Amino acid sequence: MKRLSEVFDATLHAVEKGKEEIFHIYETTKSETQRLEKELTFLNLELSETIKKVDLQHKKEKHMRQKLLEVNKNFQIYNEQQMLDAYSEAKDSQLELKLLQSKELQLRVRRDEIERSLKNLEGTVKQAENLISQISLAISLLRDGITEISQRYSDDQKKEIALRIMKAQEEERRRVAREVHDGP
């Protein structure tokens, strides 16, 4: 009977420890999800502002190109400095547009990465919640089972149950090891 009690206690302790580890994973994942949600909110605001800037700069760049065409077309009425200024303004406007478009692209890529990460993390949070619930049920059943077994079964039956529990523990350790090795 003492050995059976030790096996039950060890099993219960192992399951409770597993629950704590899963809860830690849940908490870490939940806080990372919240951090990424805040980052996504900020990123969406920045992206919206950048898109507006790109639109404005695109109009400005188009205007500068038209001005440059006008200066080139009517070169006889513009002096050399005016021509250089028109060329320089058009070039600067074009460069600014390219920089803003590049920033917009980078923000979109980062937003997409965060959205994918959030989707994965939310799946992990749900899995952890389900596991915690299942483990809580297992702990409750184990506690109830210890009391019931000690009251109901003979010593030989208790030994048989203890052997089955140890075998189940070993199978569970192998299953968890496979999952950890292979990934979710």
pTM equals 0.65
Interatomic CA distance for residues 121 and 132, integer angstroms? 16
User: For the segment 125-180, what is each residue's pLDDT rounded down to a tens digit?
Assistant: 888 888 888 888 777 777 776 666 555 556 666 667 667 777 777 777 777 667 65
User: For the segment 4-31, what is each residue's pLDDT rounded down to a tens digit?
Assistant: 677 777 877 888 888 888 889 889 999 9
User: What is the number of residues in the chain?
Assistant: 184
Long-range contacts of 45-52 (CB under 8 A, 24+ apart): 46/107, 47/104, 47/107, 47/108, 47/111, 50/100, 50/103, 50/104, 50/107, 51/104
What local confidence, expressed as pLDDT, does residue 142 receive? 72
Average pLDDT value over all residues in the chain: 85
Domains of the chain listed by start with CATH number: 2-182 (1.10.287)
Q: Could you tell me which residues come within 8 angstroms of residue 64 by beta carbon, excluding any fewer than 6 positions away?
A: 86, 89, 90, 93, 94
